[in-house]
A and B are shown apart, each in its own frame.
Chain A
Amino acid sequence: MFVTAAYAQQSTTTEGNEAHDAATAGEVHTETGVAHEGEHGSGVFPPFDSSHFASQVLWLAITFGLFYVLMSKVIIPRIGGILETRHDRIAQDLDEASRLKGEADAAIASYEQELANARAKGHSIADTAREAAKTKASADRAGVEAELAKKITAAEARIAEIKSKALADVGAIAEETATAVVQQLIGGNVTKAEIAAAVKASADN
């Protein structure tokens, strides 16, 4: 029982003339202390010393009452206000953020729309151009072909004309050649009529 011993020792040294009180004080720790209510202080376990109860309650009422008023009139409205303001601000910022997000989404959607339109338009332009080019190419080809056919026809006619003319000349050339050949070979007098008949006969053969 270190506590009791120390307490008793302390009491005897400081309050030597009250040795009797100190001795009883040692036991008070385990007892109620109520028995000493009448005596003022010294022997009673301090928290159970009723002589200062009235003063404690009065000052507690004053200080706690003041504290309560300070809390309810100043501190709590103030902290509540701070939290409220922050809460409002956060809600407002969230609204703003969702509004901006909506705008951004709309912008993206319209951009996508425009892009799709442009792509479709591009396709149609390309198709039209391709069709026109194809039409023009086939028309050109038809024109060229017709002209070529005409030229071929003309050339063939000319070739035929030249050919018939050449063929007509062949007899005369052959008669001349044959006359010259005969005169060189036999030096005879072969008439033109005989030679022509001979050429005609070989040509017919």
Chain B
Amino acid sequence: MSNDPTHQFLVNKIVPIEIGGIDFSFTNASLFMVATVGAAAGFLYLTTSQRGLIPTRMQSVSEMSYEFIASMLREGAGNHGMKFFPMVFSLFMFVLTANLLGMFPYFFTVTAQIIVTFALAVFVVGTVVLYGFYKHGLGFLKLFVPHGVPGALLPLVVTIEIISFLSRPISLSVRLFANMLAGHITLKVFAGFVASLSAFGALGIGGAVLPLLMTVALTGLEFLVAFLQAYVFAVLTCMYLNDAVHPGSH
């Protein structure tokens, strides 16, 4: 086993595919994307197959995630925003499942790849922009002009609003990516301490208790982060979608 904390983020080709000189290989990352989709869809499908009037425990987990996202979206973007429910629900479930799958030892963490989180963020912001212009035309640009700002300050405020809007895909993607990456590296480093200290005889094994406790605590924290980052991603998606649905209202 490699002691290198970044080794776990290496992308390896499983089935090399090349189309038009561009590498589209099926990699371990692709494998875990498939696993994420399989696990999330499989869980939701199997737990709800009874369609019980009185839910089983697992069925109520699926129902709770549904109602959780539904209420989040309704609060964030209002009833008009509910047409984006499949999108937000898919994003949340995908990110959550990918984060949680990454907690298994030796598993690849899809959301610790900046390109993956960036692609998801671009998907969100792209949806906001496309829907905003489709629904409101140029009125969507009112998003950048807040109400009640004095004329003299307007150019400055509009500039700030535009920069803030453009930084959204970056902040959205880097937040998720960096949290997952840093967490996994920290976990790996502390676990690595346990192994390297144990090599120094009895005293080392005694000393290894501390990083071991740290590793256990960090594992708990990482599970929290895995959920929290999926939640944050979904909440911010709801807020951005609110801009597309009600551009002039903030």
Q: Is B75 an interface residue (CB 8 A)?
A: no
Q: Is B227 an interface residue (CB 8 A)?
A: no
The chain A residue sitting closest to B42, CB to CB, is: A70
Given contacts A2-B189, A80-B66, contact A89 B51 (CB under 8 A): no
Establish whether residues B90 and A51, one from each chain, have CB atoms under 8 Å apart when the complex forms.
no
What separation, in Å, do the CA atoms of A85 and B52 have in the docked complex? 10
Q: Is B44 an interface residue (CB 8 A)?
A: yes
Establish whether residues A66 and B86, one from each chain, have CB atoms under 8 Å apart when the complex forms.
no
Q: Is B77 an interface residue (CB 8 A)?
A: no
Establish whether residues B66 and A86, one from each chain, have CB atoms under 8 Å apart when the complex forms.
no
Q: How many residues of A contact B (CB 8 A)?
A: 46
What separation, in Å, do the CA atoms of A56 and B115 have in the docked complex? 7
Q: Is A58 an interface residue (CB 8 A)?
A: yes
| B contact residues around A49 at 8 Å (CB) | 11
Selected contact of A76 from candidates B2, B66, B112, B113, CB within 8 Å: B66
Bitwise interface map of B from 81 to 96 toward A, beta carbon under 8 Å scored 1, else 0: 0000111011001100
What separation, in Å, do the CA atoms of A70 and B67 have in the docked complex? 18
The chain A residue sitting closest to B123, CB to CB, is: A64
Establish whether residues A59 and B26, one from each chain, have CB atoms under 8 Å apart when the complex forms.
yes
The interface size bin for chain B is: 35 or more
Given contacts A51-B23, A54-B23, A55-B23, contact A75 B10 (CB under 8 A): no
Q: Is B53 an interface residue (CB 8 A)?
A: yes
The chain B residue sitting closest to A6, CB to CB, is: B3
| B contact residues around A2 at 8 Å (CB) | 189, 192-193
Q: Is B24 an interface residue (CB 8 A)?
A: yes
Establish whether residues B89 and A82, one from each chain, have CB atoms under 8 Å apart when the complex forms.
no
Establish whether residues B48 and A79, one from each chain, have CB atoms under 8 Å apart when the complex forms.
yes
Establish whether residues A58 and B53, one from each chain, have CB atoms under 8 Å apart when the complex forms.
no
Q: Which of A42-99 contact B (CB under 8 A)?
A: 45-61, 63-64, 66-68, 70-72, 74-76, 78-83, 85-86, 89
- Max chain B C-beta neighbours (<10 A), residue from A54, A55, A72, A83: A55
| B contact residues around A66 at 8 Å (CB) | 37
| B contact residues around A55 at 8 Å (CB) | 11, 17, 23-27, 29-30
What separation, in Å, do the CA atoms of A2 and B185 have in the docked complex? 11
What separation, in Å, do the CA atoms of A6 and B27 have in the docked complex? 26
| A contact residues around B33 at 8 Å (CB) | 59-60, 63-64
Establish whether residues A63 and B34, one from each chain, have CB atoms under 8 Å apart when the complex forms.
yes
Selected contact of A64 from candidates B44, B94, B177, CB within 8 Å: B94
What separation, in Å, do the CA atoms of A78 and B181 have in the docked complex? 35
Establish whether residues A67 and B177, one from each chain, have CB atoms under 8 Å apart when the complex forms.
no
| B contact residues around A82 at 8 Å (CB) | 48, 51-52, 55, 59, 63
| B contact residues around A46 at 8 Å (CB) | 6-7, 9-11
Given contacts A75-B44, A82-B63, contact A53 B115 (CB under 8 A): yes
Bitwise interface map of A from 1 to 35 toward B, beta carbon under 8 Å scored 1, else 0: 01100110111000000000000000001000000
Chain A residues with CB under 8 Å of chain B are 2-3, 6-7, 9-11, 29, 41, 45-61, 63-64, 66-68, 70-72, 74-76, 78-83, 85-86, 89
* Inter-chain pairs besides A52-B23, A70-B37, A75-B45, 18 sampled, C-beta below 8 Å: A3-B5, A7-B5, A10-B4, A47-B115, A51-B23, A52-B11, A55-B11, A56-B11, A56-B27, A56-B29, A56-B30, A59-B30, A60-B33, A63-B30, A67-B41, A76-B86, A78-B51, A85-B53
Q: List 20 A-B contacts (CB under 8 A).
A: A6-B5, A45-B6, A46-B6, A47-B114, A51-B23, A52-B23, A53-B115, A56-B113, A58-B24, A59-B26, A59-B29, A61-B119, A68-B87, A75-B41, A76-B66, A82-B48, A82-B51, A83-B63, A83-B67, A85-B51
